Amino acid sequence: MQNVLDSDSEDELPPGWEEKSTEDGNVYFVNTYTKKTQWTHPHTGCKKVIPKDLPFGWSKTVDETSKTIYVNRETGNKTYVDPRLAFAKEEKKHVHDFRQRFDGSSTAYQVLHGVDLSGKYALITGSNTGIGYETAKSLARHGCNILFANRNMEATDKAIKEIVKETNASEENLKSIYLDLASLESVKQCAQAVETVFSDHLDMLILNAGVFGLPYTETQDKLETTFQVNHLSHMYFALLLERLLKRGSRVVFVSSESHRFANLTNIFTNQNLAMTKDQYSAMMAYNNSKLYNVITAKMLSEKWKAKGICVNSLHPGNMVSTNLSKSWWLYRLAFFLVRPFTKSLQQAAATTVYAATASELEGVTGLYFNNCFYCEESALARDKEIAQAVYDMSLRLIEDISKT
């Protein structure tokens, strides 16, 4: 893998060469001077493939001479050039062979350009506002069926209506379900209810909800709130929904670069992943919860790899202006002051959408993404012994609470 933006010059064809497509998604090259054809790019020597389906909004027909012609249903434009060729990519020799197509300035709309998500099913937590809302709106614009899993159902219904209005998505494809991440019982009931909505399968599970900057509070399960809402309940939710995840399904944990500043001092000595009241720091509780997100994603990626379920984590953006900052006036002030220098919500949602839908990430699992590309996690996140301990302690905690 190369951490550089894809260069168009590498893919430029020499004079006299044309790119053609086959019905089954392969690309071949024709030398118009010699009439020679070949499967490999005449410049790079690589084989290329294209999606088997037409891009969103395109259809195929024939003209009066029975020659294939492609029609853009929105504009009415017609062309003899297969629009799938715009999405041609080099055939992978290894699952992790992919080049960077987007960066920190890219938006979710750009990431999804030409992508058809009709018939796909996604569940998104924390989807009635902020990055989760922008993620849902972007996916809905491209035909995805979405289940909004949130605690505030009134705000969720409003969000769905706004998305329908802005995107012309069918309201039948956008459904809501109650989920209170401060209660493992609610998580369990929600997971059971999900099966009545998406009885067959789930293509995308996007674990986006989170809290930030809270004073020390405990959930009804007697756990520190930031720890349970950001980490434990999402881990439990993913485990409960495993039976709906099939080969090719993607699970996305929305973490943060703040995971690099986590501090696990005394965590294993005390056998307590959550911060106690006497040691509590709102920022450190958040940092630790985001580290647990990355660790959980890596652990589940290993456990589910043989099933073809891909699990990745990501950082959406620095100091993105969302409702996460509403908890304390000082955080609200900090977010307000830096807002001119932060990402927009559309930019912040881009990495989530990329991890959930990008075709080049097929089979890619266990990675951490930032600015629509993979990057190395913190040393704590890469420590296999720590990861196993965090996962095991979390699992025991879930089991103990579930028994009561």
> Which residues are marked as active site?
286
CA distances from 272 to 46, 221, 227, 276, 300 (A): 52, 14, 11, 8, 21
Residue 135 tokens, joined: 């993620």
In the block, tokens 């002051």 appear at 337
36 Cα distance to chain centroid = 42
Residue 103 tokens, joined: 């960066």
φ, ψ of residue 56 to 5 degrees: the values are -55, 130
Are 244 and 202 spatial neighbours (Cβ–Cβ below 8 Å)?
Answer: yes
C-alpha dihedral sign at 214, 218, 223, 225 = negative
In the block, tokens 């891009």 appear at 55
In the block, tokens 């349970």 appear at 228
Distance between CA atoms of residues 15 and 148, nearest Å: 51
Reference 296, options 258, 252, 240; nearest CA is 252
Which DSSP string corresponds to 229-244? IIIIHHHHHHHHTGGG
Distance between CA atoms of residues 212 and 232, nearest Å: 15
Residues paired with residue 58 on neighbouring β-strands, in sequence order: 72
Q: What is the Cα Rg of the chain in Å?
A: 23
Reference 238, options 59, 73, 135, 391; nearest CA is 391
CA distances from 333 to 212, 306, 329, 336 (A): 14, 47, 6, 5
Which DSSP string corresponds to 127-170? -SSHHHHHHHHHHHHTT-EEEEEES-HHHHHHHHHHHHHHH---
Residue 237 carries which side chain, given as an amino acid letter? F
Dihedral over alpha carbons 340, 345, 351, 354 (to 10 degrees): -140
Distance between CA atoms of residues 8 and 141, nearest Å: 28
